[in-house]
Structure 1
Amino acid sequence: MLHMLKKSFQVRPQLALALLALVATSASARDWQVDAAKSTLTFKGSYQGESFDGKFKKFDAAISYDEADLAKAKFDVKVDVASIDTASDERDDSLKGDEFFDPKKFPQAHFVTTAFAKGADGAVGAQGTLTIRDQSKPVTLKVKFAANGDKATLDVDTTLKRLDFGLGVSKDWVDVGADVPVHGHLVLTGK
C-alpha cells in the first residue's frame, strides 16, 4: 500500500506539469514577427479632385493571431507619422504641419484591437481603437490572413474619415478628400 501511495505522488506532479504546459500554450494566440522590409502601410488621398498614393515608411506591429481562436488574437500597431511619403515634398510638408499629423506634437498614430469577429460570410473583422493626434475613435479592419507553416501574410483594410481625427479641419483644406482608404500588408514569420 505504501508503495502505491508513493507511485501516486510521483505521477501527479508529472500530470500537473503536463496540465500547466497545456494551459500555457493555449493561453495566447500565436505570436508573429513582422518583416519590416517586405511589409507596407499605404493609403489613398485626394486633393482638388486629384488622387494620390501615400505610405508610412516606419511602423511597428505586434501581432498575435490564431484564426481558430480569435478571442486570443491581438494587433498593436504604432505608426511614425513623420515617415509619411506621398512622392511630393510639398504635400508631405503640409501633411506634417500642425493642421494635419503634426509629428512634433503627436509623433505616433496607434491602433490596438479590442475584439475580433467572424461574419456570416467567413470574413474576419478586427475592432479596435485608433488614435491619431489627440483623437481616439473606434475602427474596424477587414482582415485577410494566410499562413503556410511558419510564414504568413496579413492584409488589413479600412476607410478612415480624416475629420474624425482632426486632420485638416480648417476651411483651407475643404479640397482634401474626406475618406481615406488604408491598406496594410504584413509579411510575417512565426516566433
Structure 2
Amino acid sequence: MNRTAQASSSTLSMFALIAACAAPAWAEVETFSIDSAHSFANWEVRHVVARTSGAFHDIKGSIAFDASNIANTSINAVISVYSLNSGLLRRDLHTLTEEFLDARNYPEIKFVSTRVAPATPDKGTFSGQLTLHGITKPVTMDYQILGIGQDPWGGLRAGFKATTRINRADFGMTKYTPTGPVGNEVDITLLIEGIKLGSDGQPWNAKAAAEEKTKVIAYPIATPPAPQTVALPAPAPSAQSPAAPVQTSPQAASIPPENNLQTAPASPAAAVPEKKENLEDQLKKKLKGLLK
C-alpha cells in the first residue's frame, strides 16, 4: 500500500531528474511510461520487535514532464494490490484479506501528483493524493534522481528513488493497533524506471527520431494541362463595306420551285359542255324521229 506512494514519488523524482539533466534540450512536455518490469514499490513494517518487508511488482503509470517549468509536471501511477510479494505465500494471502489491504474490494493503489519542489539538481520533494484501501490522503515524498540517459536499444530512460512513511491506520487498516504485533507506521521506498514515449505513444527511439528529422518528403509534381485551341468568331461586317450580294446562277434561277412542278388537275367545267352536246344530239335525233 505504501508502495503506491512510492510509485508516485518515483515518478515525480523522475521528472525532477529529467528537468535537471535534460531541460535545456527539450522545449515541450515529454511523456514517460513507468516500466513495470524494472519498477518496484517496497514496504517495511515492524513485526513484534523485528522488521518485515515486501514489495509490489506491478506498477503502471505515466509522467508528463515539463523541463522548462517543473511545476507543470504531472504524474499518475497505479499499483496492483495483487502483485504483493513478501516472500511467504501465507503472509501474502493474509495481507490481502479484509484485515489489511482487502484486495477484493480495493484491488488498486493510486497516486496523483499535485506539486513538485526541487531542492537541488537531483533532490527534492513532491506531493500528491494517495488512494489506499478506499481512502485518499495527501502524501509527501523525498526523491533522489538516479540518472537519465539512453539505453542500448536507442531509447531514453530515467531512474529515481523516493521514500516516505505512512500510518496504515490513516487508511482504515486498524487491525492489531495500536499495540499489536504489526506496527502502524509503514516505510515505503520506490524504485522507478521510466521510458520516454514518442508522439505516437510508443517508446521513443533516438535512431528513428534522427531518421524522421532527415527524411526527405517527395511531393508529386503536377503536370500542366496541354494547351487548347480556341476558335474565335468571325468579325462582323462593318457599315462602310456592305456584304456583297449573293449571286444566283441562271440555271438555279430558271428552276421553278417544287410546288410549281405539280400539274393542276383538269377543270370539271371543261367536261360539262361535252356532255351537253351529246344530249342535244340525242334530243335532235328523237325530234326528227317524231316528225317523221
Same fold (TM over 0.5): yes
1:162 corresponds, among 162, 168, 190, to 168
Of Structure 1 and Structure 2, the greater helix share is in: 2
Q: Is the Cα contact below 8 Å between 2:39 and 2:191 reproduced in 1? A: yes
* Alignment coverage as a number of residue pairs: 165
Q: Which moved more, 1:82-91 or 1:97-106?
A: 82-91
Instruction: Give identity over the alignment, percent.
Output: 22
2:187 corresponds, among 176, 181, 188, to 181
Of Structure 1 and Structure 2, the greater strand share is in: 1
- Measured in 1, the distance between the counterparts of 2:178 and 2:185 equals 17
- Look up the equivalent residue of 2:160 and give its one-letter code: L
Using structure 2 for the length normalisation, give the TM-score: 0.52
- Measured in 2, the distance between the counterparts of 1:88 and 1:156 equals 25
- Measured in 2, the distance between the counterparts of 1:142 and 1:87 equals 27
Q: CA deviation at 1:121?
A: 9.1
1:151 corresponds, among 157, 166, 178, to 157
- Look up the equivalent residue of 1:169 and give its one-letter code: K
- Mapping of residues 69-88 of structure 1, within 5 Å: 69-88=69-88
Q: CA deviation at 1:35?
A: 2.3
Q: Structure 2 stretches of 5 or more lacking a match?
A: 1-26, 151-155, 198-292
- Mapping of residues 35-74 of structure 1, within 5 Å: 35-66=35-66, 68-74=68-74
Using structure 1 for the length normalisation, give the TM-score: 0.77
Aligned-residue Cα RMSD (Å) equals 2.2
Q: Deviations over 1:76-117 (max 9, x none)?
A: 111111211111122112210102111111111111101111
Q: 1:173 to 1:59 in 2, by over 3 A?
A: farther
Q: Is the Cα contact below 8 Å between 1:45 and 1:54 reproduced in 2? A: no
Q: Which moved more, 1:181-190 or 1:163-172?
A: 163-172
Q: Deviations over 1:37-67 (max 9, x none)?
A: 1221111122112212200121212122345
Q: Deviations over 1:123-177 (max 9, x none)?
A: 3211101011121111011122222252211221111111111124355972211
- Measured in 2, the distance between the counterparts of 1:60 and 1:155 equals 16
- Measured in 2, the distance between the counterparts of 1:140 and 1:65 equals 19
User: Which aligned runs of 4 or more in structure 1 are off by greater than 4 angstroms?
Assistant: 170-173
Asked which structure has the greater CA Rg, the reply is 2
Classify the secondary structure of the residue corresponding to 2:169. helix
